[in-house]
Amino acid sequence: MKLMSIAGARPNFMKLAAIAKAVTKHNESGILPLIHHIIVHTGQHYDEKMSKSFFEELSIPKPDINLEVGSGTHAQQLAEIMKRFEPVLLAEQPDVLLVVGDVNSTIACTLVASKIEYPLARGRKRPILVHVEAGLRSFDRDMPEEINRILTDALSDLLFVTEQSGVDNLLREGVDENKIHFAGNVMIDTLIQHLEKAKQSDIKKRLEIPMRYGLVTLHRPSNVDRKEVLEPLVECVEQIAEQIFLVFPVHPRTFSKLTEFSLMDRLQTNSNILVTEPLGYLNFLNLTQTATVIITDSGGIQEETTYLGVPCVTLRENTERPVTITEGTNYLLGGTDYSKIFATVFQILDGNTKKATIPKFWDGKAGERIIETLVNAANL
């Protein structure tokens, strides 16, 4: 069986690590069919250092193909991915195409594969289309990721979900229940696999981070692209830093906007805020494990903190991962009422935090469940 997996942006790499590991385990078991795994890196993410560090740390094989698409507007990026991916798909003719998450690479490659017709095909005219992390919904169509999620799910043959809300959403949208598989969370597979290694990182010693600290990440366009939104958030971070030391690994997009809006100096000159470049996966996981609080707009960090039991304050109006709120450690605080953010963070600093549980199937075996299902599907 030939499986082609797509990676395009930072979160995809973490999820793909679990798939690659499960493929290796399957092949070593000797169970047929063996899987020939081809990894395509679209090059969507524009920070090459981040991609390289992830592949090294997560032990993912070097991508077989790199489309080197780079950044651009949504239309430019989607079009370029589709144009460069089609000849690759026709040349390789995989039995299964697996995409993860909700970035532009996810929908672009799925759309190409849904319309492809293999020349001289003896069996399938196109690959089985697989979406890992299906069914998640923020119910906010202004988010580009929401459009990507909805379209990818509509086109896919097999849908692997991470939480019960994914199942409920897909059934509500009229998806055949036979397409839906509750596999668990591949992001958590990767976290579990690397926890002990992450603990060995000396990042806190090297950066002289105190025992008690908070962690900040911001990257979403809705939070960083406009000065009238980003400047109040910087003021919010400054005020929280009066109560606790903050580590702020700055995403390239955020760095660009902080610089453009003349806000970077305020953060860099604050003695209680440590501004760093983006950190590798193991170093960031090390900091996540022992943080007192994390302030973020990231979807993946909401999940990681829930598993680790670390309080997470999410600066968004909505989340496509509601289990992190209902069962996990996540507090959803969007909008411009910063008094609520301060109150929640200070409550956490006082030790008044949520009691959380680990969601169903967040057990380190999601990748194995997915590969087992794909093998069975390929044998049909």
Residues that are catalytic: 219
The torsion angles phi and psi of 245, rounded to 5 degrees, stand at: -65, 135
Q: Are strands 128-132 and 330-332 parallel, antiparallel or unpaired?
A: unpaired
User: Do the Cβ atoms of 371 and 16 come closer than 8 Å?
Assistant: no
The torsion angles phi and psi of 249, rounded to 5 degrees, stand at: -75, 120
Instruction: Give the relative orientation of helices 48-57 and 281-290 as an angle to the nearest 10 degrees.
Output: 80
Nearest C-alpha neighbor of 363 from the set 115, 192, 181 = 192
What span, in angstroms and rounded, lies between the C-alpha atoms of 231 and 15? 33
Instruction: Give the relative orientation of helices 186-199 and 366-378 as an angle to the nearest 10 degrees.
Output: 140
Alpha helix (H) residue ranges in the chain: 10-29, 48-57, 74-92, 104-115, 144-155, 164-172, 186-199, 203-206, 221-224, 227-240, 252-260, 264-268, 281-290, 299-308, 323-326, 338-349, 366-378
Q: And the tokens for 240? A: 């929280």
DSSP string, 286-326: HHHHH-SEEEE--HHHHHHHHHHT--EEE-SS--S-THHHH
Q: What is the DSSP letter of 200?
A: T
Q: Longest Cα pair distance anywhere in the chain, in angstroms?
A: 67
User: Do the Cβ atoms of 290 and 272 come closer than 8 Å?
Assistant: no
